Structure formats: structure tokens, C-alpha cells
Amino acid sequence: MGWTIPRHWAVNYSKIVDKCLWDATTFENFRTHPHSASIVGNGMSDTEQTMLYNEITTKYPYLLDQVSIIQLIDAIGGPPTIQLPNNVTLCKRSLRYMWAAGLIAEHFGDIAKVVEIGCGYGGLCHSLSTYFDLDGYKLVDLKNVVALTRRVLSHLPTNRNDDFYEPEPPYSICVSESALSELDIPLIQQYYDEYISKSDAIYLRINFNNSTAHIKKHLFSLLNQRFDITISGETVLGQLK
């Protein structure tokens, strides 16, 4: 599959995703299932949680005006939630996806067409669809994962018709939450050629601890061909040169 994660993780994750597509009970709680959480987990340190919420309230306070819409995705799949100031209750991933929307708006302004590599369960798509007037959102992942994402999104007011999820390039931005650090070089090259190289900007979160040195080197050699990039922690932003 091009994944560098342990094979049994990939197999178990794919099985639970498949089961979500036909079994209502599994779907109701899939975000806390160990086989799902091991890939798209709900973890975030208390320090990062505090930092993101503080940045939202100080730099992007307008995001909180739509928090009730963001919260809707946390009613799907049974994720654990946290209590934040001002009676805000969110899943940790939803908090980060809100913050990502603010960061993208700050650095790139309005965006119209998005391609996401590694769509998980649709959390980032839901967030960006809430805060931007998008023309299209391409979901790139295993077929069953894309099907699960579409099932999740179908329960949300940000959901759109089928054509919305098949936009043609060029894309305003390519986004990815950790997926690129779990891929081998051939698949990174494929995704670069098909999606990243056809995007005007990038927002990537890359877990450098899970990426071997030669894969990181190859990825950044590609990114530097097209973008002026800045790195802050695990977050990589890039604009066209």
C-alpha cells in the first residue's frame, strides 16, 4: 500500500474501516476503537492543547463563532472530548483542525479548491468547509477510508454533492495531517506528481519522529522545488516560489 507503518496496524485499521461501512454499532464508536485510534488517534499533550486554544482565542477568535458547527462532527464516532474555557467542549483533533483553519487563513487568505492527502474521517475537511467558501475538496486515501469519510460528512451540514469531492487541479492548497510521514518514497513521489505539484500552497503536519531520514530528505527535496517553505514544530507551510 506504500505505508511504512507496521503491517498488522494497516490490516487491522482497514478491517475496522470496512466494518464501519456496514455495521452501525461499529460506526457509532469507531473513533475510540484501538485499531482506528492507532492510526487517527485522539492524542494531544496538555501543553499543545493549551497552546492551540490560546492561539485561537488571541489570533483567530472569530473561529469560535462557528464552534457549534465544528462540534457536530464530535457527535459521530464517539471520540473523547475535553472541556475548554467558556464552556467549549471539543475533541482534541477538532481543536487542532479549527486552529489549522485559522493558520491557513492567516498565511494564504481565501482558498477555493483543496486536496487532502490522508483524509482520516473528514475532520479537517469539515473544519475547512466551515470556515471557507470552497469550490471543491479532493479526498485522497484508501478507497474504504474515503468511503468512511464520505459517510461521516453525510451527517453534517457542511456536506456537499459528489462533484464537490472531485475537483480538477490546480488546487489552492494541498493539506495533510501526518499522512506523508507514514508513506514510502514511491507513494510520496506519486502524490507529489498528482497533487502537491498541482497546488499553489501547502499546509502539512509531519511527524518527523516516524519518518526515516532518507524519506524526509526526498520529501523536502520535492517541496523545495516548488515552494518557499517554513517549518514550525511539525507544521510545514509553503507558498509558490
State which fold the 7-240 domain adopts: Rossmann fold (3.40.50)
Q: What is the DSSP letter of 21?
A: T
pLDDT, average across residues 213-235: 91
The CA radius of gyration of the chain, in Å to the nearest whole number, is 17
pLDDT in tens, 89-127: 999 999 999 999 999 999 999 999 999 999 999 999 999
pLDDT of residue 209: 61
| Alpha-carbon span 35 to 17, nearest angstrom | 9
| Alpha-carbon span 188 to 190, nearest angstrom | 5
pLDDT in tens, 131-163: 999 999 999 999 999 999 999 999 999 999 999
pLDDT, average across residues 219-223: 95
Confidence grade of residue 42 (pLDDT, cut at 50, 70, 90): low
Residue 43 clears pLDDT 80, i.e. is over it = no
pLDDT averaged over the chain? 91
Could you tell me the pTM of the whole model? Answer: 0.94
Confidence grade of residue 1 (pLDDT, cut at 50, 70, 90): low
Phi, psi of 171 (to 5 degrees): -105, 145
